[in-house]
């Protein structure tokens, strides 16, 4: 797993090992950053369920102003910190070991981009969707990775489903505020 482009282009990232781990594939990562490519620079990015931190690190490499990484697993938090150090991007990053729904319900920070890739079919994505609006800037975008057969809501508060992109068994769903929907 490597950083695709930007400041840290080509840097190899550590990843978690084991059967419980499902990192975002390179193809899906490229698709996500193609979708949001003009919305990254200078923005605040939240990488929920960070795992190795590859999505937030890619955002930093592409010019995000800051990234907050959240994961409940100690091993993930440790790998995110090591990957940030390897890429020399730790200055604009914060890493929290916390449960993602709890973080969304308690933080006072606001974000322009939120990427959510929780364990599949556990209900935690729906939990996060129900409270993500409170951390979003009005012009922000919510990006969800889920199994292609999982139905996600049409609306999350005033945020509406903008588009779904299918990549084999994986679906990327984007939401934006209804004032910004095309």
Residue 117 maps to a domain = yes
Phi first, then psi: give them for residue 16, nearest 5 degrees.
-70, 150
Structure confidence at residue 5 (pLDDT): 82
Neighbour count for residue 57 (Cβ, 10 Å)? 29
What was the pLDDT predicted at 20? 58
Q: Would you say residue 63 lies in a domain? A: yes
Q: Quick one: which of 137, 131, 159 has its CA closest to 48?
A: 131
11, part of any domain: no
The whole-number pLDDT of residue 2 equals: 80
In a domain, 46, yes or no: yes
Residue 170: phi, psi to the nearest 5?
A: -115, 140
Question: 125 in a domain, yes or no?
Answer: yes
d(CA 94, CA 98) in angstroms, rounded, equals 12
pLDDT digit of tens for each residue in the chain (182 aa)?
Answer: 888 788 788 788 988 876 556 677 788 899 999 999 999 999 999 999 999 999 999 999 999 999 999 999 999 999 999 999 999 999 999 999 999 999 999 999 999 999 999 988 899 999 999 999 999 999 999 999 999 999 999 999 999 999 999 999 999 999 999 998 86
Closest CA to 1 of 60, 75, 81, 87: 87
Domains in the chain, number: 1
What confidence score (pLDDT) does residue 172 get?
96
Answer yes or no: is 115 within a domain.
Answer: yes
pLDDT score at 21: 60
What CATH number has the domain bearing residue 31?
3.40.50.150
Query: The tokens of 45 are what?
Result: 């990015």
* 74, part of any domain: yes
One-character DSSP codes across 65-101: SEEEEEES-HHHHHHHHHHHHHHT-GGGEEEEES-HH
Domain range for 41 is: 26-140
Kindly state the DSSP code that residue 20 receives in the 8-state scheme.
Answer: T
């Amino acid at each position: 797993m490597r950083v695709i482009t930007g400041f840290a282009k080509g840097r190899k990232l550590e990843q978690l090992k084991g059967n419980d781990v499902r990192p975002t594939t390179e193809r899906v990562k490229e698709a996500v950053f193609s979708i949001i490519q003009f919305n990254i620079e200078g923005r605040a990015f939240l990488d929920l369920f960070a795992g190795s931190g590859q999505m937030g690190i890619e955002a930093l490499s592409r010019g995000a102003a800051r990234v907050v990484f959240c994961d409940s697993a100690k091993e993930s938090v440790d790998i995110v910190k090591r990957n940030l150090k390897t890429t020399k991007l730790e200055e604009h990053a914060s890493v929290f070991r916390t449960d993602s729904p709890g973080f969304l319900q308690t933080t006072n920070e606001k974000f322009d981009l939120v990427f959510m890739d929780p364990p599949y079919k556990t209900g935690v994505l729906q939990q996060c969707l129900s409270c993500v609006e409170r951390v979003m800037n009005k012009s922000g975008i919510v990006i969800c990775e889920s199994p292609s057969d999982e139905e996600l809501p049409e609306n999350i508060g005033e945020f509406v489903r903008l588009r779904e992109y299918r990549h084999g068994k994986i679906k990327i769903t984007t939401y934006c505020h209804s004032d910004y929907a095309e």
